[in-house]
Amino acid sequence: VSLDKLKDGLSQLNLDGYTITASTVLKKGIKATKVDVVAEGTDLPGRPLKDLREIISESNLESTIKDKSLSILQRLAEAEAIVHNCPVEEVHFQEVGHIDTIVDIVGSVYALHLLGIDKVISSPIDTGSGSVEMAHGLFPVPAPVTAELLKGVPVYASGIEKELTTPTGAAIITTIASSFQPLPEMKLSNIGYGAGGWELNEKANILRVLIGEDGDTYDMDEVFLIETNIDDMNPQIYEYIIDRLFQAGALDVYITPTIMKKSRPAHMLSIITKSEHLDNIRRLVFKETTTIGVRISKMARSILTREIREVKLPYGTVRVKIASDQNGVRSISPEYEDCKKIAMETGMPLRDVMELAMLTYTAK
């Protein structure tokens, strides 16, 4: 992004008292751009949410840029309100209320606008570790507001004892990113490196941005596969175990007949789950089966976009799962349990209920 174009966009804010500069630096031998927002005062007071909101909403920026910037600011304020136990409108940005917060938020959104970015995908977030000094004292990394903002996002600590993710940075990335996953298939067109201020011993302190076109427009996520071979358990127990595994958060459970050493017949129990359920499911497998060991592997998964809709039949409501990709709807599947319930209550054949649900949905 051209610095002059970025400055032109930021000049549409009713905000002064700062300068923005960009310089080329080397980080561990990698050329990167270091952007600095320098406030004219060294002891600026914090600003209430209302002030920051007005600066953005009363600017001359396009409505889409203002709306996205306000969404980031609101998300940041809501996290502050939770941590400090106060209403959102009473939030006073003590740690993040300076001019550079507004410039960081609006500048990021405006830069994406200049680049014509349609979708942002992020890798898991390295929060750093150690502690950070704030207005209220010394706190562990990630800081309380940062941790609040990163709920539901895959995070890790690489062992570097620095604050690598700030509240403002967390608010920006969790608002603009559509997913957090390994690098998706794409045709690269541009690569940018942004430099941080610290010189880290462990790695280059840079943020890399890869820009390109979708090579695979399917959604992707990261899952874990847990597998174990069992040859000494009553097969009747599997029904109970499968139910328990789904209750514990399994995305899928399946059993495959197999042959073990010395030609012993066995069953391979396979479970697919997200990282947040991995420990619970592993404990459940050891508790409820006779296995003495499990295999765990991490993998990327391509998935169709899914949504649940409801159709009303004369006999009740049936949920319908719609799976689609960039070319349109790929499959339509009535919810089995809903159809089974109607079939049991009415005496209709189950296949007729499922067919009626399909016809009702397609007629809509």
Query: Would the pTM count as exceeding 0.85?
Result: no
> Domain check: are 290 and 331 in the same one?
no
pLDDT for 328 equals 80
Number of domains in the chain: 3
pLDDT at 166 (0 to 100): 93
Domain that holds residue 334: 305-363
Residue 91: per-residue pLDDT: 84
Shared domain check, 142 and 21: yes
| 140 and 263 part of one domain | no
Same domain, 155 and 226: no
- For residues 121 and 92, state if they share a domain: yes
* pLDDT score recorded for residue 316: 92
Mean pLDDT per block of 10 residues along the chain (364 residues) reads 94 89 95 90 71 92 95 95 91 66 94 94 94 85 95 92 94 94 87 94 94 76 94 95 96 96 95 94 96 94 87 93 83 93 95 93 84
Out of 281, 303, 325, a domain closes at 303
Q: What pLDDT does 68 receive? A: 96
The per-residue pLDDT for 182 is 85
Please tell me the predicted confidence (pLDDT) of residue 329. Answer: 83
Same domain, 295 and 203: no
Q: Where does a domain end: 194, 215, 236?
A: 215
- The pLDDT, as a whole number, for residue 95 is 44
3-class DSSP string for the chain? CCHHHHHHHHCCCCCCCEEEEEEEEEECCEEEEEEEEEECCCCCCCEEHHHHHHHHHCCCCCHHHHHHHHHHHHHHHHHHHHHHCCCHHHCEECCCCCHHHHHHHHHHHHHHHHHCCCCEEECCEECECCEEEECCEEEECCCHHHHHHCCCCCEECCCCCCECCCHHHHHHHHHHEEEECCCCCEEEEEEEEEECCCCCCCCCCEEEEEEEEECCCCEEEEEEEEEEEECCCCCCHHHHHHHHHHHCCCCEEEEEEEECHHHCEEEEEEEEECHHHHHHHHHHHHHHCCCCCCEEEEEEEEECEEEEEEEEECCEEEEEEEEEECCEEEEEEECHHHHHHHHHHHCCCHHHHHHHHHHHHHHC
Instruction: Clarify whether residues 37 and 127 are in a common domain.
Output: yes
- The CATH number for 312's domain is 3.10.20.300
| Confidence (pLDDT) at 96 | 43
* CATH number (domain holding residue 264): 3.30.70.1380
What's the pLDDT score for residue 203?
A: 92
Are 33 and 120 members of one domain? Answer: yes
Last residue of a domain, one of 276, 303, 330: 303
Question: Does one domain contain both 22 and 140?
Answer: yes
Q: Do 105 and 145 sit in the same domain of this protein?
A: yes
